[in-house]
Chains A and B, each alone.
With several copies, the nearest count.
Chain A
C-alpha cells in the first residue's frame, strides 16, 4: 500500500439542509494519481472544495501528512501545499497571463514594487512547459477558452504544491494539449507530487491514474487501484448498473439539404462552405482555436459576416442576430453555458422557455405558466434532469444538469437545425449517453445537427460526416465510413489527407 498524504474521513456536507456528501472517505497517495469519478452532481467538486478550504465541511476529519487540518480559506490550503484547478475557469480576465499565474504570490522587492522581470521569466517557463506559445504579458481576455484552461493549469503547477487537484482540467482541451498536460502530470508524479484527477473522460483515467475513487449521489462507492478496473466496471460503479454501447449510432435516411453555408468569411473564419441534410449529424472537429465556435456563432448571428451566404432549404436567409436565427429554425447550444448558455439567476422553467416565450403568451400578454410548467416537466422527465423541482434556480444545479437545461431551452424553440458546441463538456457518462440518445431521437425526427466537439470518440461515435477545421478554415470533410482519429488529427493540424 502506498503512503497516504491526504486522508478525508466521514466527510459530510450540507447546503441549506440538503446533504450532498454523506460520510465520504477519500485518500490521496504520495507520488500517485488518484482519479475521482462519478456522475454529475455526485459531489466531486464539493469534496475537493472542502479539502481546499473553499467550502466548510459540515462534519468529518481531514488529515494532511498525518496531521489534522481544517482549512477555511484557499490561502491556508495553498500555504500547506495543496493546490486546486477549479472546474470552472477562475482567471482574472483583465490581468496578464503572468499576473494570473502568480496572483497573490507576486515576487516583490524591498520597496514593495513587483519584480516584473522575475514574474515574466518564471511564467514563461511554465508556458513553455505546457507548450503554450503566448507572451506572458498578454491579457487573459484575449485568449481562447482552451488557452485559458492551460493558464489555469500553469497557475496550479507553479505553486509547486505537494498535492494538486485537477477538476476536469481537460474539459476545454483537445488531444494535443491533453497529451502535453499528461507529460507534465507524469513528470510531477515522478517528482513525488500527488495528484487528484477528476474527469468524465474515462480513457484519460486509464492513461494516467493509479487509483480510482468513485462517488455516487454523495456517497462513496469504492476506492480501487487502476488494475482492478476497466471502463465498464467504472461505469457500473458510477451509475449503479451496466451501461450498454456508449455511442448509440442510429442510421437514418438523409433527406433534402436543409442548410447550405457558402463562403462564410469574417474576422474569425475564412471561406467556410458546407451543407447539412435533414436527419444528418455533421461533426465538426479541430484543435483549440480552430475557429469552430466562431463559425457556429457567425451562423447564429452573433458575429457579423463580411462575406458569404446562408441558405435554408435553398432560399438565402439574412441572419443578423440570434433572434433571426431562431426565427429561421436554427438553435445554438453554447460551449460556455455559464456565460451565454443559461441564466443562473432564473429557475429551470424560466430557462427552458426563455428562447421560446412567444409560445406561451396569451391574450393581454400574460404568460401561461401552467403551459410553461408542462413543457418543462416533459424535458425534466425525458432528460432526467436532477433538481429539487422545476422552480430551482440554475445556479444550484450541477454542471451536467445545467447543460441539459441549456439543451432543453434550445430544443423548445423547435429548431430545424441544432448547433451543438461541445454538448457533453463536463457531462458524466450516463448523462452523456442520455444526451446522445436525445440527439438521435431528434435526428430521427428529421432534425439536422451540427455537432462541434473536441472529443474525437464522440465525433466518430455519432456523426454521419466529419468536417475538420484548422485556423478558421475547413481543411476537409470525411464520410464517417472512412474517418478515423488519425485522419481527423492530421486535418486538424492543417495537413492534407487523401
Chain B
C-alpha cells in the first residue's frame, strides 16, 4: 500500500514534469533536422555555457516564485555585483576574497529585499521593482555609465577563467550551473528550509501556525536569489572581461520564463529545480536556434513569444481548486 501510493505519486510528478521535457525534445529534434550544426558536441557546450547564466538566476528565482513571490531585481543585482567584483579584481585583490565579497554583497542585497517583503510587508513585485530601479541607479553611479575592465592585475587572469575556462573539456560555467542545480535540489527536497519554502508558498498562515518563522524563510529565499544573481554577475563579468553598467537588464524576464516554462506555479507551492533546468535549457536552445537558423531579428521576438506561449499552454495546470 505504502509502496504503491509512492509509485502513484512519483508517476504523477513525472507526468506533470514531462511536458516541458517534451517541448525540449521537440525543439532538439526539430533543430537537428533543420540545421546539421546544431547537434554537435561543440554547439552543445556553447548552448550549455550560454544557458548557465540564465539557469543560475532562474534557480534563485525558483525559490522566490515557490513562496509565491517574485524577484525583479536579479538583473540589477547582477550588474552591481559584477561592477563591484570587476573593480576589486582590477585592484588586484585576492581572487577568493573577491568572489566571497561579491557573493556576500548579492546575498545581502537579496536579504534586504527579503526584509522589505517580510518585515516591511511589501508586495514582492513592487518591492523588487523598487530595488531593481534603485540598484540600477547605484550601478550607473558606481560605474559612471562606463564599463569596468577586469584587466590590469594578476588576479584578472584567474578571474577570467571562471567564465571562459575549461575543465576536462567542459566549460567551467557549466560545472557551476550543475553544482547550483544539485545544491538547490538538495535544499528544496531534503532540507527543512526547502520544505518550508513549499509550505510558505502553499499556505502562509498554516506555515506560520506551525511555528515557523515565515519572515526568516522569506529573507532566506530572497537572499538565495540575490546570492545566485551575484554568482551570475561573476560569470558574466568574467566571460566579458568587463562589467557593463547595463548588464542584466531584462534578465528577470528570461529567468521567470524559464521557471514558469519549467512548470513552477507563480502562485507558489508547486515546482521543481528539475523543471527550471529544463525551462532554462528550452530558452537557451531557442536563442541558439534562432541564431543558427538566421531568423531575422524582427522575427525573433515573434518566434520567442510563440514558443513561450506554446510551452506554457502545453503545461497549463488543471483549473486550480482554491
Q: How far is the CA of A135 from the CA of B195 in the complex (A)?
A: 19
Q: How far is the CA of A322 from the CA of B214 in the complex (A)?
A: 11
Specify which chain A residues have a CB less than 8 angstroms from the CB of B195 in the assembled complex.
95, 99, 103, 106, 114, 350, 354, 357, 367
Q: Are B211 and A413 in contact (CB under 8 A)?
A: yes
Say if the beta carbon of A222 comes within 8 Å of chain B: no
For the complex formed, measure the closest distance between the CB of B65 and the CB atoms of chain A, giving whole angstroms: 13
Question: Per a CB cutoff under 8 Å, which of B9, B199, B206 touches A391?
Answer: B9
Specify which chain A residues have a CB less than 8 angstroms from the CB of B208 in the assembled complex.
74, 302, 321-322, 340
Say if the beta carbon of A309 comes within 8 Å of chain B: no
Q: Of all chain A residues, which has the CB nearest B4?
A: A389
A339-B191 contact given A135-B2, A138-B9, A345-B270, CB 8 Å threshold: no
Residues of B within 8 A of A (CB): 1-2, 4-6, 8-9, 186, 190-192, 195-196, 198-199, 201-203, 205-213, 269-270, 321-322
A323-B203 contact given A389-B6, A391-B6, CB 8 Å threshold: no
Q: Of all chain B residues, which has the CB nearest A334?
A: B209
- Can you name 17 A-B residue pairings with CB atoms under 8 Å? A84-B209, A92-B203, A95-B195, A95-B199, A103-B195, A104-B211, A108-B192, A113-B186, A114-B191, A137-B5, A321-B213, A322-B208, A332-B209, A342-B203, A343-B207, A350-B195, A389-B1
Q: Are B202 and A95 in contact (CB under 8 A)?
A: yes
Question: Per a CB cutoff under 8 Å, which of B198, B203, B213, B269 touches A75?
Answer: B213
Q: Are B202 and A354 in contact (CB under 8 A)?
A: no
Specify which chain B residues have a CB less than 8 angstroms from the CB of A139 in the assembled complex.
9
Among all A-B residue pairs, the 8 with the closest Cβ atoms: A389-B5, A345-B202, A75-B211, A135-B5, A90-B206, A355-B210, A94-B202, A326-B211
Say if the beta carbon of A474 comes within 8 Å of chain B: no
Q: Of all chain B residues, which has the CB nearest A75?
A: B211
Say if the beta carbon of A14 comes within 8 Å of chain B: no
A113-B190 contact given A339-B203, A341-B206, A389-B2, CB 8 Å threshold: yes
Interface size, chain A (Cβ < 8 Å): 72
Q: Of all chain B residues, which has the CB nearest A333?
A: B209
Say if the beta carbon of A390 comes within 8 Å of chain B: yes
Q: How far is the CA of A342 from the CA of B210 in the complex (A)?
A: 9
Q: Are B209 and A54 in contact (CB under 8 A)?
A: yes
Q: Are A346 and B198 in contact (CB under 8 A)?
A: yes
Q: How far is the CA of A366 from the CA of B187 in the complex (A)?
A: 8
Q: Of all chain B residues, which has the CB nearest A373?
A: B2
Specify which chain B residues have a CB less than 8 angstroms from the CB of A389 in the assembled complex.
1-2, 4-6, 8-9
Q: Are B202 and A343 in contact (CB under 8 A)?
A: yes
Say if the beta carbon of A251 comes within 8 Å of chain B: no
Residues of A within 8 A of B (CB): 54, 73-75, 78-79, 84, 86, 90-95, 99, 103-106, 108, 112-114, 120, 124, 134-139, 141, 155, 300, 302, 321-323, 325-327, 332, 334, 339-347, 350, 354-355, 357-358, 361, 365-367, 369, 373, 377, 388-392, 395, 409, 413
Specify which chain B residues have a CB less than 8 angstroms from the CB of A113 in the assembled complex.
186, 190-191
Q: Are A94 and B198 in contact (CB under 8 A)?
A: yes
Question: Per a CB cutoff under 8 Å, which of B1, B203, B206 touches A135?
Answer: B1
Q: Are B213 and A90 in contact (CB under 8 A)?
A: no
Specify which chain B residues have a CB less than 8 angstroms from the CB of A327 in the assembled complex.
211
Q: How far is the CA of A388 from the CA of B203 in the complex (A)?
A: 22
Specify which chain B residues have a CB less than 8 angstroms from the CB of A342 in the assembled complex.
203, 206
Q: Are B212 and A323 in contact (CB under 8 A)?
A: yes
Q: Are A344 and B203 in contact (CB under 8 A)?
A: yes
Specify which chain A residues have a CB less than 8 angstroms from the CB of B203 in the assembled complex.
90-93, 339-340, 342-345
Q: Are A322 and B210 in contact (CB under 8 A)?
A: yes
Q: How far is the CA of A187 from the CA of B257 in the complex (A)?
A: 53
For the complex formed, measure the closest distance between the CB of A91 and the CB atoms of chain B, giving whole angstroms: 6
Q: How far is the CA of A120 from the CA of B3 in the complex (A)?
A: 12
Q: Of all chain A residues, which has the CB nearest B5?
A: A389
Q: Are A354 and B210 in contact (CB under 8 A)?
A: yes
Q: Are B205 and A90 in contact (CB under 8 A)?
A: yes
Q: How far is the CA of A139 from the CA of B8 in the complex (A)?
A: 11
Q: Are A366 and B5 in contact (CB under 8 A)?
A: no
For the complex formed, measure the closest distance between the CB of A342 and the CB atoms of chain B, giving whole angstroms: 6
Q: Are B192 and A322 in contact (CB under 8 A)?
A: no
Q: Are B212 and A104 in contact (CB under 8 A)?
A: yes
Q: How far is the CA of A104 from the CA of B203 in the complex (A)?
A: 13
Q: How far is the CA of A395 from the CA of B186 in the complex (A)?
A: 25
Q: How far is the CA of A350 from the CA of B208 in the complex (A)?
A: 15
| Max count, chain A CB within 10 A of own CB: residue among B208, B211, B322 | B211
Q: Are A344 and B202 in contact (CB under 8 A)?
A: yes
Specify which chain B residues have a CB less than 8 angstroms from the CB of A99 in the assembled complex.
195, 199
For the complex formed, measure the closest distance between the CB of B1 and the CB atoms of chain A, giving whole angstroms: 7
Q: Are B269 and A93 in contact (CB under 8 A)?
A: yes
For the complex formed, measure the closest distance between the CB of A388 and the CB atoms of chain B, giving whole angstroms: 6
Q: How far is the CA of A321 from the CA of B322 in the complex (A)?
A: 17
Q: How far is the CA of A370 from the CA of B181 in the complex (A)?
A: 24
Specify which chain A residues have a CB less than 8 angstroms from the CB of B4 in the assembled complex.
135, 389
| Max count, chain A CB within 10 A of own CB: residue among B191, B192, B322 | B192
Q: How far is the CA of A74 from the CA of B210 in the complex (A)?
A: 7
Specify which chain B residues have a CB less than 8 angstroms from the CB of A300 in the assembled complex.
209
Q: How far is the CA of A366 from the CA of B195 in the complex (A)?
A: 11
Specify which chain B residues have a CB less than 8 angstroms from the CB of A326 in the assembled complex.
210-211
Specify which chain A residues have a CB less than 8 angstroms from the CB of B191 in the assembled complex.
108, 112-114, 361, 365-367
Q: How far is the CA of A141 from the CA of B321 in the complex (A)?
A: 9
Specify which chain B residues have a CB less than 8 angstroms from the CB of A350 in the assembled complex.
195, 198-199
Q: Of all chain A residues, which has the CB nearest B206?
A: A90
Q: Of all chain A residues, which has the CB nearest B205?
A: A340
For the complex formed, measure the closest distance between the CB of B201 and the CB atoms of chain A, giving whole angstroms: 7
Specify which chain A residues have a CB less than 8 angstroms from the CB of B270 in the assembled complex.
94, 345
Specify which chain A residues have a CB less than 8 angstroms from the CB of B6 in the assembled complex.
135, 137, 389, 391
